[in-house]
C-alpha cells in the first residue's frame, strides 16, 4: 500500500503498519488520539516526510530556517497563548464580515476554463491576507512559496527535487522574519506586541500562511469538481443551506487534508493492536458517511482555527458560481492530482459552457 495514494478501501484493519508508520483509520481511534496530546504528541506534525538531504539541510541552515513548536507541532504550555492570539483574527464576527469580499472575488473570477487556475488558486490567499491585515503581499510569489513548501515537507520527493524547492522554502522564511522585524502588517505587530520572538513568529506564520489558504484552495478544487459531476446538485446549490450541507459532506468523505500525524509518547493499544512508544501514527481524517461527525479540521486543542473561514469560502464560492453559471459542466480528461502524504486534491477542474 502506497501511503501517498492509498484509499480507505485498501485498508484491511483499523490499525495497519505500512512503510514504517501506523495508519489509524477508525473514527473512534482517530478522535481519541487527537483528544489526547499528552499520549499522542504533535511533535512530528510538520516534520518533513522525506528526510531532508544534507545539501538541502545546509541551504536551510544558511537561510536560518526553523519551525519551532508554535501551533500544529506544539504540545507545550506555550501553545494556548499563541493559539489565543491567532484565534483573535478568526472570530465568527470577523469571518462572517468577509462574505461580501469572498463573493466579489468569486464574481471577478468567473469565465475561466479551469476553475482551479482562474478561481480556487488565489482567492483563499487574498481573503487570508485581508483577515490577517497583511498588505502589499505578492500573491503569485506567496503561492509559489506555499505550494513548494507543501511538496518539500509532505511529498515523496527525490534529493534533486528537494534542492529545486529549498531556495523557495528558505526565501519564504526570510520574508516572514523581515516582515516581523519591520512590523509590517497587523499580524506581525500583534505578535511583536505580545513578546513573541522573531524565530517563533516566523515559524508560526510559515505554517499559518500555508495552511490558511492552500487547504482552502484544495477544498474549493475538490468541491467544485464533485459538485459539477452531479447536475441535480449543481442546480440546487443556489438554494438556502444546500451549499453549506454539501461542503460538510465533502469534508466528511473527501477532505483534502486526508491524513495528519502524531507520535506515541508511550506504548498504547488502538483497536486491540499494541503500538510501541515512539511510533509515528498516520491518522486518516477522511471518514465514512455513517461517522457521527467528520474530523477534517482535527479535534481537541489543535482543532483548525480557520475552519469557519474555510467553510464560508467554500459555500459562498459554490453558491456564486452555480448561480451565475448554471450550465457549467466538466470537460477534458481526468485531472492530475496533488498526492502528498497529508494533502490530496485535483490540480485542475476543466469546464465548458
Q: Which CA distances in Å does 1 have to 12, 107, 288?
A: 10, 42, 20
| Whole-number pLDDT of residue 267 | 98
What is the C-alpha to C-alpha distance for residues 265 and 206, in angstroms, rounded to an integer?
26
8 Å CB contact between 41 and 262: yes
Q: Report pLDDT digits (tens) over 271-322.
A: 999 999 999 999 999 988 888 889 999 999 999 999 999 999 999 999 999 9
How many other β-carbons are positioned within 10 Å of the β-carbon of residue 14?
18
Residues 6+ apart with CB under 8 A from 100: none
Instruction: Kindly state the average pLDDT of the residues 200-227.
Output: 97
| Whole-number pLDDT of residue 287 | 87
What is the C-alpha to C-alpha distance for residues 272 and 281, in angstroms, rounded to an integer?
15
Three-state DSSP string of 210-244: HHHHHHHHHHHHHHHHHHHCCHHHHHHCCCCCHHH
What is the C-alpha to C-alpha distance for residues 78 and 6, in angstroms, rounded to an integer?
35
Q: Closest Cα to residue 321, out of 248, 212, 235? A: 235
8 Å CB contact between 275 and 269: yes
Q: Which CA distances in Å does 216 have to 123, 203, 263, 345?
A: 9, 20, 26, 10
Q: Report pLDDT digits (tens) over 123-139.
A: 999 999 999 999 999 99
Q: Which CA distances in Å does 78 have to 81, 185, 200, 229, 328?
A: 6, 23, 11, 45, 48
8 Å CB contact between 203 and 210: no
Straight-line distance from the first to the last Cα atom of the chain, in angstroms, rounded to the nearest whole number? 39
| Whole-number pLDDT of residue 268 | 98
What is the C-alpha to C-alpha distance for residues 254 and 249, in angstroms, rounded to an integer?
8
Q: Report pLDDT digits (tens) over 230-241.
A: 999 999 999 999
pLDDT tier for residue 243 given thresholds of 50, 70 and 90: very high
What angle separates helix 123-132 from helix 139-154, to the nearest 10 degrees? Answer: 100
Radius of gyration of the chain (CA): 20
Cell of 39: 499520549
What is the C-alpha to C-alpha distance for residues 115 and 345, in angstroms, rounded to an integer?
13
Q: Alpha helix (H) ranges present in 183-338?
A: 186-193, 198-228, 231-236, 242-254, 307-324
| Whole-number pLDDT of residue 208 | 97
Q: Report pLDDT digits (tens) over 61-105.
A: 999 998 899 899 998 889 999 999 999 999 999 999 999 999 999
pLDDT tier for residue 154 given thresholds of 50, 70 and 90: very high
Amino acid at each position: 500500500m502506497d501511503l501517498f495514494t492509498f484509499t480507505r478501501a485498501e485498508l484491511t484493519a483499523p490499525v495497519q503498519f505500512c512503510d514504517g508508520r501506523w495508519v489509524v483509520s477508525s473514527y473512534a481511534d482517530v478522535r481519541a488520539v487527537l483528544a489526547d496530546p499528552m499520549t499522542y504528541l504533535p511533535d512530528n506534525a510538520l516534520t518533513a516526510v522525506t528526510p531532508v538531504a544534507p545539501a538541502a539541510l545546509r541551504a536551510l541552515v544558511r537561510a536560518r530556517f526553523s519551525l519551532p513548536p508554535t501551533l500544529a507541532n506544539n504540545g507545550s504550555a506555550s501553545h494556548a497563548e499563541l493559539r489565543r492570539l491567532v484565534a483573535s483574527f478568526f472570530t465568527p464576527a470577523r469571518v462572517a464580515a468577509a462574505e461580501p469580499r469572498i463573493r466579489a472575488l468569486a464574481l471577478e473570477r468567473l469565465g475561466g476554463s479551469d476553475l482551479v487556475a482562474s478561481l480556487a488558486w488565489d482567492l483563499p490567499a487574498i481573503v487570508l491576507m485581508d483577515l490577517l491585515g497583511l498588505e502589499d503581499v505578492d500573491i503569485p510569489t506567496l503561492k509559489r512559496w506555499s505550494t513548494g513548501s507543501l511538496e518539500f515537507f509532505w511529498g515523496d520527493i527525490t534529493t534533486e527535487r528537494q534542492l529545486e524547492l529549498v531556495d523557495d522554502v528558505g526565501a519564504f522564511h526570510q520574508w516572514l522574519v523581515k516582515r516581523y522585524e519591520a512590523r509590517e502588517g497587523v499580524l506581525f505587530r500583534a505578535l511583536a506586541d505580545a513578546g513573541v520572538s522573531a524565530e517563533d513568529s516566523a515559524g508560526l506564520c510559515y505554517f499559518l500562511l500555508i495552511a490558511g489558504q492552500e487547504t482552502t484552495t484544495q477544498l474549493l478544487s475538490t468541491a467544485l469538481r464533485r459538485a459539477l459531476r452531479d447536475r441535480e446538485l449543481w442546480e440546487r446549490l443556489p438554494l438556502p443551506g444546500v451549499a453549506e450541507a454539501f461542503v460538510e459532506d465533502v469534508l466528511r468523505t473527501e477532505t483534502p487534508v486526508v491524513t495528519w500525524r502524531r507520535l506515541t509518547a508511550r506504548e498504547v493499544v488502538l483497536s486491540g493492536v499494541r503500538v510501541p512508544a515512539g511510533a509515528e501514527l498516520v491518522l486518516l481524517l477522511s471518514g465514512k458517511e455513517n461517522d457521527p461527525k467528520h474530523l477534517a479540521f482535527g479535534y481537541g486543542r489543535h482543532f483548525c482555527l480557520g475552519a469557519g473561514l474555510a467553510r464560508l469560502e467554500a459555500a459562498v464560492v459554490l453558491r456564486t458560481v452555480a448561480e451565475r453559471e448554471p450550465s457549467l459542466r466538466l470537460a477534458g480528461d481526468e485531472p492530475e492530482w496533488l498526492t502528498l502524504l497529508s494533502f490530496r486534491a485535483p490540480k485542475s477542474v476543466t469546464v465548458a459552457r
